[in-house]
Amino acid sequence: MFKVGDKVVYPMHGAGIIESIEEREVLGEKSQYYVMHLPVGNMKLFIPLNNVENLGLRQVISPTMVKDVIEVLKTKDTATTLAWNRRYRANLEKIKSGNIFEVANVVRSLAQRENEKGLSTGEKKMYENACQILISELVLTEGSEEEAVRQRLSSALILA
């Protein structure tokens, strides 16, 4: 169970801070919810406590793991070329996993594909979403500014 002030990641949305735990009535049923603020994108989420495990909520990574994430971005993608719909589904599953290394893998492979052949509209949106998720976690992990993290990611991707 998380507590107020914890920095957590909600897959498909990104990293945020638990601001409070509140009881809310939804459809006539009272439940406890984490109130989570996502600083990157300035969004507030209500996450039911009884569904936290299914949703994949987890603590943000430790600061020592950041360099490993950056290394994933710097490596050359060696994945086989799949049809766009299979590639899209595979990348979506990686993002849904909530694993920061899988999200970094998606960012890297889509950035490299963009440079080589371009991305479809759906893949561009996925790329932006994956970047936002990755940036939000690194911002909270390091206490850095969003723009500084964004520039570091761009620099790492250029090296790949």
- Tens-place pLDDT, residues 107-148: 999 999 998 888 889 999 999 999 999 999 999 999 999 999
Question: Among 145, 147, 136, which residue's Cα sits nearest to residue 7?
Answer: 136
The rounded distance, in Å, linking the Cα atoms of 3 and 78 is 40
Which letter does DSSP use for residue 51 in this model?
Answer: G
Domains of the chain (ranges; CATH) run 7-59 (2.40.10.170), 63-159 (1.20.58.1290)
Confidence of residue 151 (pLDDT cuts 50, 70, 90): very high
Q: What is the reported pLDDT for 77? A: 76
Sheet of 58-59, strands arranged across = 43-48, 29-38, 14-26, 7-10, 58-59
Is 81's pLDDT higher than 70?
no
User: 């919810």: which residue's tokens?
Assistant: 33
- Which residues, at least 6 apart from 47, have a Cβ–Cβ distance to it below 8 Å? 10, 33, 34, 36, 55, 57
Neighbours of 17 (CB within 10 A): 16
